[in-house]
Structure 1
């Protein structure tokens, strides 16, 4: 898929707009996302984001931030699961930074350990863009000052214009929070979703990518074109060496 390189770079409290509960992951509460209709997809972006339509969403809760290295390490210590690939990196491995260097199955195992799951594409997009279909969690337009951690103007290198040459703390960029108060749904690290990559119902894209999963949100080394609430990236679920790929979890309502 074009722009696949955007997710494969290898090195070799906010607004209380929504209710939250402490959740099972210490230091990372679950933010409630209400049921109801919301806009999913868009018709004025890449072909794989089409068509735009209104979907009736179910209620769910989502982690306020990406899962951090500290939180992932507790999971490893409790279960004996393998460590993240960049666990000992001097920057990427810092306690408060999003964990990176995890495969799709690593992320699933973490969420399942806490009785949670990875978000679906629809859940991720609803949390990121609200009900009206905003292009960014904080507004419809990016504006001159983008409250997110991203990279150079062309793919795919990090820079320090936003204060962080690589990952930022998971609770940084409070001004970029979604309407419900969820942080860094765009920028910082790409995030695994539960879905297999495929065209949307009603879409026209031809696909021959195999059993790839979908990453959402862009990362610290993404150019602005990847920093929208609708951008979809097909990715090998077994690959665990991306220095810009992490995740967060959700709890679906019964």
Structure 2
């Protein structure tokens, strides 16, 4: 091969490299410019893919590239990945790096966020969430109550549910002036008591606020999700079994504690009162601080007692035509929404796992009704 041929071959190879490298670098520079503009506007959702594209191009990048990548991942709540890139920046840049202090701060925040998530929290002060496994169950009952029939099989996807009812403290992060009130001079307003005197719309406003605050898809549970979670795999009448008088370890409902204060409410000749007032005492005349009584099999407290709970569904007179996939039934007349569970003011009959109630949307909240929340969860 002559020298001229070698020279031409070398030039062809060089031109090929330049022809490939220049567009690659140009694309990376263009993406970095787009990233900078989006970050200035605090718009991060589409940026992770752009960072990944730049990395795949293997083009030259600014010295602070890993910091900005880590910050972006932190903003979209991908904390594990954020920590990896922030750590790379901290290691390479050292204490002289332009963003060294910021990177250390974000790294610590990401680490703390992961710890909270592993404990079931999405943010400081957020409700603790428990992941509920997917499964199927028989919903409702075939007793004489029309609105609990027909009994039907429902399949539910995995989801996370708040361990307890939403408290006054948690709700007042959203609405600082909320007052849950009193009942016969006894406070319903303590920080750790469940929030009450809230309408269905108020519960919806809270989950929308919490979704905006955390970036997590919070919502009210569907009625099917609520009953599935409350049952915890049980087919018994109540969370505690089939004995109507066994409520006290599990549920704060109207029992002998109530009769000790209001003996005139008892009607010994009325057979129904043997169910209305269980023959035990839970020690609470009004709402208890959440989580004081025993949890069910899924680790959820106060599911069928303490306060009644709003769910997503509109109230229907029976289950004919109800969804069987665990989703909320929202068609029809939605002037009424479903309330589930009993309360400190209500009966053991209403604490049955299949029992249903409702509230009117146009009316104000009830002094013994609140709510708990769910969010979509990754499959177990």
Question: Structure 1 length as normaliser, TM-score?
Answer: 0.78
Which secondary structure state, in structure 2, belongs to the residue aligned with residue 31 of structure 1? strand
In 2, Cα distance between the equivalents of 1:161 and 1:35? 35
Q: CA deviation at 1:85?
A: 4.5
Corresponding residue for residue 169 of structure 1 = 289
Question: Structure 2 length as normaliser, TM-score?
Answer: 0.53
- Structure 1 residues not aligned, in runs of 5+: 1-18
In 1, Cα distance between the equivalents of 2:208 and 2:229? 20
Corresponding residue for residue 114 of structure 1 = 210
Q: Is the 8 A contact 1:69 1:93 kept in 2?
A: yes
In 1, Cα distance between the equivalents of 2:195 and 2:353? 21
Show CA shifts across 1:135-159 (max 9, x none).
22343544545321111565999xx
Q: How does 1:49-198 map to 2 (within 5 A)?
A: 49-77=148-176, 83-86=178-181, 91-115=187-211, 116-144=218-246, 146-147=248-249, 148-152=251-255, 154=273, 161-174=281-294, 177-198=295-316
Q: How does 1:203-218 map to 2 (within 5 A)?
A: 211-218=335-342
Q: Alignment partner for residue 230 of structure 1, among 354, 364, 369?
A: 354
In 2, Cα distance between the equivalents of 1:45 and 1:170? 33
Q: Alignment partner for residue 146 of structure 2, among 47, 50, 57?
A: 47
Q: How many residues align?
A: 224
In 1, Cα distance between the equivalents of 2:180 and 2:189? 9
Higher relative contact order (CA 8 A, sep 6+): 1
Q: CA deviation at 1:42?
A: 1.1
Q: Is the 8 A contact 2:252 2:287 kept in 1?
A: yes
Corresponding residue for residue 127 of structure 2 = 28
In 1, Cα distance between the equivalents of 2:157 and 2:299? 18
- Structure 2 residues not aligned, in runs of 5+: 1-117, 212-217, 256-265, 267-272, 323-331
> Cα distance 1:84–1:193, how it changes in 2: closer, same or farther (>3 A)?
farther
Corresponding residue for residue 10 of structure 1 = none
Q: CA deviation at 1:90?
A: 5.3
In 2, Cα distance between the equivalents of 1:163 and 1:134? 25
Show CA shifts across 1:52-71 (max 9, x none).
12211111110000001111
